[in-house]
Amino acid sequence: MQVDNNRVVSFHYLLRDDEGNELGHSGEVPVTYLHGHGNLVPGLETGLLGHEDGERLEFSVPPEQGYGAHQNLPSQRVPIKRLLGGKRPQPGEVVAYQADDGTRQATVIKVGKFNVDVDPNHPLAGQTLHFEVEILEVREATAEELAHGHAHGPGGHQH
């Protein structure tokens, strides 16, 4: 079955930067997502579109289709209690926190008693993303998954 809107796709990936350094990869459980609902960065969804289970792909995603350009933004103060995981991070560490528009990732610049100052750019902003992908499974989404806008089960959303 081909990757298309309103289908659930499971895949393994390896992500590298321009120099070939590894930036990330899927774990033991493949990534499972609902296509066409903004669950992945746009360039990754575009790269997978129209391909089938069993295929191995290599493609590159420019920053505009990935995590955006690296912008000169003022640092942002985030209460430590709003960090996911709730632990005191170290400067340079990448943290996730709850913002008004959902979960965000950022790099810690400075750690205070109750707050951290973060660089609000996504840690992968400004990077061209080089993906190696293996598509494992493509299936039709359930009515419940379509209503929620995300995939359920292993590698997807667990309620």
Which pairs from 13-21 meet CB under 8 Å and 24+ separation? 13/131, 13/132, 13/133, 13/134, 14/131, 14/132, 15/129, 15/130, 15/131, 16/130, 16/132, 17/127, 17/128, 17/129, 17/130, 18/127, 18/128, 18/130, 20/130
Residue 157 CB, nearest distance to Zn ion (Å)?
Answer: 5
Is 37 a residue that touches Zn ion (CB under 5 A)?
A: no
Is 148 a residue that touches Zn ion (CB under 5 A)?
A: yes
Stretch of 26-34, 89-97, 112-120, 141-149 lying at the interface with Zn ion (CB under 5 A): 141-149
Which residue's Cβ lies closest to Zn ion? 148
Listed residue (15, 9, 54, 61) closest to 31, CA to CA: 9
Nearer to Zn ion, 124 or 141 (CB): 141
Residue 38 CB, nearest distance to Zn ion (Å)?
Answer: 15
Is 139 a residue that touches Zn ion (CB under 5 A)?
A: no
Q: Which of 37, 82, 104, 157 binds Zn ion (CB under 5 A)?
A: 157
Contact residues for Zn ion (CB under 5 A)? 148, 157
